[in-house]
Amino acid sequence: MLGWSINLFRIRGILLAIHFSFFLLLGINAYSGWTDAGWRGLWWDTAILMAFFVCVVLHELGHCFTAMHFGIGVRRILLMPIGGMAEFDDIPRQPTRELLITLAGPAVNFVIAALLWVVLPRAGNGHPDAMTAGNFGRMLMQWNLAMGLFNLLPAFPMDGGRILRALLASRLPYLRATFWAATVGKVICVIGAIVGAFQQPLLLALFGFIFIVGEMEYRAAVRREREDAHWRAALARFNRVEPTAEEPPLLRP
């Protein structure tokens, strides 16, 4: 289902793609703006939505550029109605690297919010719902703060969940750390979904998606662990075979 997307362009070799469901969000948002204030509301709401997703892309690029610094390939950034997702060739098992890669995303949002706080005028700019540049900037500042803080929730595989996994992996085996991070994330997703069911239906869909993706990533980690164990066992068996004269013991420790 994640393959239902359109490729846009590349940023330093990273493909930026947009999921087809994003156009549904764009249409609903434009219709809401039109019903509120006609053409002006349509363009205003569309501009706000696009600016928000530019910040989402910058957030994901923070992850991607840090991962590339450590030699990890990045396939693409996929934009969806609930946000963005960077697809890496591999997830580092070194806790420090995963921690730095993860923190880079929210850090971008906090830097954007700080810059907007510096450049925006301190005085009020008329009615808070007025379609002005000042209100536009303040809205972006608030959204970047909210985006950065929300992503720090320990709901694996969100950024906060990955930070928890990295901290646990410094003391526990990697798979065990992933299990506990995913378990904590599931509890938070269930709580968030219950709150969303009564307050905001979008949260219900968001936490449901996070729950499913977290379980998928944990199962992928289990598969990788089993494959690694299989190859380690095969290598150990190979090293126990006595080499012939033509085959020197290159694999022996």
- pLDDT beyond 60 at 241: no
Residue 246 located in a structural domain? no
Instruction: Indicate whether 195 belongs to any domain.
Output: yes
Same domain membership, residue 180 and residue 132: no
Residue 250 in any domain: the answer is no
Mean pLDDT, rounded, of the chain: 86
Does position 122 have pLDDT exceeding 80, yes or no? no
pLDDT of residue 233: 66
Do 147 and 171 belong to one domain?
no
Residue 128: which pLDDT band, with cuts at 50, 70 and 90?
Answer: low
Q: How many CB atoms lie within 10 A of CB 177?
A: 21
* Domain around 194: 153-238
pLDDT exceeds 90 at position 124:
no
Q: What is the mean pLDDT of residues 187-211?
A: 88
pLDDT of residue 252: 37
Same domain flag for 32 and 97: yes
Give pLDDT tens digits for 131-158: 788 888 999 999 999 999 999 999 999 9
Mark whether 43 and 63 lie in a shared domain. yes
- Domain-embedded: residue 60: yes
> Which residue did the predictor score with more confidence, 52 or 228?
52
Catalytic residue (choose from 60, 87, 225, 246): 60
Instruction: Establish whether 60 is a catalytic residue.
Output: yes
Note the pLDDT of residue 234. 65
Is 90 exceeded by the pLDDT of residue 184? yes
- For the cut 70, the answer to whether the pLDDT of residue 244 exceeds it is no
- Among candidate residues 152, 180, 196, the one where a domain is terminated: 152
Does 123 share its domain with 204?
no
Does 45 have pLDDT greater than 90?
no
Domain count, the chain: 2
**pLDDT grade for 253, boundaries at 50, 70 and 90:** very low
Q: Is a pLDDT exceeding 70 seen at residue 236?
A: no
Q: What is the mean pLDDT of residues 69-93?
A: 91
Tell me the per-residue pLDDT of 47-64, one tens digit each, with 9 for 90 and over.
Answer: 999 999 999 999 999 999
Is residue 18 assigned to a domain? Answer: yes
